[in-house]
Structure 1
Amino acid sequence: MAPESARWVVRATADQIAVLRTEVTAYAQRVGVADGRLADIRLAVSEAATNAVLHAYRDRDPGQIRVDAGLTDEGWLKIVIEDDGFGPLPRPDSPGLGLGLPTIASVADAVELSAGRAAGAKLSMVFALSG
Structure 2
Amino acid sequence: MGEKPIDHIELKLPAKAEYVGVVRLTVSGIASRAGYSYDDIEDLKIAVAEACTNVVDHAYQDSGLIGIGCSLYTDKMVIVVADNGQSFDLEKLKEGLGPVDGTKPIGELEEGGLGLFLIDSLMDKVEINGKAGVAIVMTKFLQRDEVEQNADGVPAPTNAQKQ
Q: Same-fold call, TM > 0.5?
A: yes
Larger helix proportion of the pair: 2
TM range (shorter): 0.7 to 0.9
Which is bigger in relative contact order (C-alpha 8 A, separation at least 6)? 1
Q: Higher mean Cα deviation, 26-35 or 106-115?
A: 26-35
Secondary structure at the counterpart of residue 99 of structure 1: helix
Q: Which residue of 1 aligns with 2:53?
A: 50
Shift of 1:88: 3.5
Q: Show the counterpart of 2:44.
A: 41
Listed one character per residue, the Cα deviations across residues 8-61 of structure 1 (whole Å, up to 9, x for unaligned) are 11000010111111111111111221222011001001100000000001xx22
Gaps in structure 2 of 5+ consecutive residues: 94-109, 148-163
Q: Distance in 2 between matches of 1:22 and 1:87?
A: 27
Q: Which amino acid aligns with 2:119?
A: I
Amino acid at match of 1:23: T
1:127 is aligned to 2:134: no
Query: For 1:99 and 1:37, how far apart are their aligned partners in 2?
Result: 20
1:86 corresponds to: 86
- 3-state DSSP class of the match of 1:5? strand
Q: Count how many residue pairs are aligned between Structure 1 and Structure 2.
A: 122
Query: In structure 1, what is the Cα distance between the partners aligned to 2:111 and 2:10?
Result: 27
**Misfit runs of 4+, over 4 Å:** none
Q: 2:129 aligns with which of 114, 120, 125?
A: 114
User: Which amino acid in 1 is paired with 2:141?
Assistant: A
Q: Give the TM-score of the pair, scaled to structure 2.
A: 0.68
SS class of match (1:87)? coil
| 1:67-91 Cα shifts (integer Å, max 9, x gaps) | 000123x621100010001124369
